[in-house]
Structure 1
């Protein structure tokens, strides 16, 4: 973000504020601000960029439409899920008019609209919207396209959030089979689906099956990603939790204690995930009968 800010100042001086390269750098700067943790600043920067793009390029220019999507996303990330959903609804309508209903960017905006509807509290509406966009993606992109597979993941997630944990687990199982065939068993998205399937198996009432699935996933993540990868550490957290839910409170506490030691080393003692693990450790210590250890936070 700092480097883009320095470049932007020189481009404004040399090329002028309305040059396409200057506008592109403003886009990149806004994105990096968001990725660096300043979602509010990113949304503000995209709003300012949008006003200039409408003036210079016109409201229907592809870059203008792209900026509207970026602005909507960062509004959502900044906490305004309802505003993000509304912005994507308006953008989708304009993309249908300008690009056509089957354009990849139109489909992407519909996907984003569905997601932010869910984040705004309408899980059932999100699941319905993902169902509709999935049908069009299968028709336009094909059943094995990465975007189609991603939408199947989103649909399954929001079915679960809408209350259908059993249906979600079944959907994730079907998706996993297709991802393993298309992407490979060790692909990051395949790992993500295995994580989701394991979680929703647990939520559907099969805590033992969830723990077993997380144990198998963990072994593969250690092999492919390494023991210190953030996803590997997350899976260790999930495995410990479901071991506890399956009735092994002592084993869960032990697993959280081991995870905590590695997170302190890898992430630091004040990292949010480290603090979350300390909370989980204390909880399962108390469940396992170690009330004193839970009370004073001893591993």
Structure 2
């Protein structure tokens, strides 16, 4: 409509003013509860989007545009804040032997150092020694199984972690009773692993059952309420953000305003608002959150660094040039504090690469190539963070070297995602779609159509129309 204004179709001045008038007229005819109007009620957000459009972008061939849809902007590579809650050594008090407790402390230290594969190896040793020293249904053995199952998932195999934890929940219930903390913790973690495997409905049912089984706001109940909100964000992100807001006073009462868990929950609220399309509202919560976390946890605390990385991704969506500076600063501080290969560094570096890809695609490609090596070495090729990075690298190769070079990369990532995350996981679907685009460009629409249809059918079934 306004492309004749020259240069940038949304350049500041008359073009934006004329569009504002049209939007105001349209908004007067739309009910305030209609979600279709929401993106246009936040003037700063749509004006940033509008003013970033170029005539060249509008006339780019459709297939080239489509290939960019594969770029993952996962914020924190799937992080939902629950790791701080579920990895807090809740089982250690139930270990019945001093040596077993020492191993559990060692496992926690390895986890905090960003060495999940090494933590899993020690967890296997812990389980072996517990089973050798204690009866099979002893509390100490059940606690050791908890630790082993948890680190199985943290090391990358979430589906196996779900299977182990669901079996553990049944054994805890039969040996310790339904109300025992280890039983409830097993159900809580089962729900978390279901969610990680995109079994959203089952996860929501399990979280809800935990909440309904207790009238107290104890630790497990609070975490179940939180998990239920995270699960809901896959279905109704706006409602999920509201539920987290309702939960925050209880978390602050239980843990304190400046506790890691409280900050993590606030971050999940920011992420839910972002997923609901409220970028401005998300930023308004994220800015003071970073300030508070920096003041109370420290600028180099892992959670502060992760929040800073996500914040850089948020600002990117407003086409702010500050986003690259923010991402580079967060990555630099991660490397200085945690090292180049720490999982948190990889997560923040991935955000930096996504932001960098808009300004220097070749430099972003080189960074992703480096991150793939680090991720494979530290986390293994099947870990979700490694898979997100590998998928982003495939898209960068697609953009710079063409679909023929990218296709085998998509296929390799898709095979691992399907096996580890499941065929219905959003990451798997994203890669599946990117592969369909590559096939479209290489072999034409007839070859690509059944792939697009399969992706659409699965998305409709899992995510809803």
Normalised by the size of structure 1, how large is the TM-score?
0.79
Superposed CA offset, 1:192-223 (max 9, x none): 333322322333xx3xx122321243045236
Aligned twin of 1:92: 248
Deviates most, 136-145 or 114-123? 114-123
Alpha-carbon offset, residue 274 of structure 1: 5.6
Alignment of 1:25-64 (within 5 A): 25-54=186-215, 58-59=216-217, 61-64=218-221
**Closer/same/farther in 2, CA of residues 28 and 274 from structure 1, 3 Å limit:** closer
- After superposition, residues 51-130 of structure 1 pair within 5 angstroms as 51-54=212-215, 58-59=216-217, 61-77=218-234, 79-130=235-286
Q: Does 1:253 align with 2:389?
A: no
Give the counterpart of 2:444 among 290, 294, 299: 294
Show structure 1 runs of 5+ residues with no match.
Answer: 244-250, 286-292
SS in 2 for 1:53: coil
Gaps of 5+ in 2: 1-161, 449-465
Given that 2:279 and 2:314 are in contact with CA atoms closer than 8 Å, whether structure 1 keeps it comes out as yes
1:151 Cα shift? 0.6
Residue-pair matches, total: 274
8 Å Cα contact 1:124-1:158 kept in structure 2 = no
Query: In the alignment, which of 384, 392, 395 is matched to residue 238 of structure 1?
Result: 395
After TM superposition, list the pairs within 5 Å mapping 1:120-269 onto structure 2. 120-161=276-317, 163-203=318-358, 206=359, 209-219=360-370, 221-222=372-373, 225=376, 230-231=387-388, 233-243=390-400, 251-260=401-410, 262-263=412-413
Instruction: Give the structure 1 partner of residue 180 of structure 2.
Output: 19
Which of the pair has the greater relative contact order for Cα pairs under 8 Å at 6+ separation? 2
Q: Which residue of 1 aligns with 2:90?
A: none
Contact 1:76 1:82 in 2 (8 A): yes
Going from structure 1 to structure 2, the CA distance change for 1:274 and 1:141 (only over 3 Å counts) comes to closer
**Whole-Å separation in 1 of the counterparts to 2:190 and 2:417:** 27
Which deviates the most, 110-119 or 271-280? 271-280
Q: 255-264 or 104-113, which moves further after superposition?
A: 255-264
The corresponding residue for 2:437 is 280
Cα distance change, pair 140–296 in 1 and its aligned pair in 2 (3 A): same
In the TM superposition, residue 91 of structure 1 has moved relative to its aligned partner by: 0.9
RMSD: 3.0
Question: Whole-Å Cα distance in 2 between the matches of residues 21 and 219 of structure 1?
Answer: 41
Structure 1 counterpart SS, 2:177: coil
| Contact 1:201–1:210 (CA under 8 A) maintained in structure 2 | yes
Q: 1:234 to 1:82 in 2, by over 3 A?
A: same
Deviations 1:133-184 (A, max 9, x none): 11111111100000000010111111222x1342212211111211121122
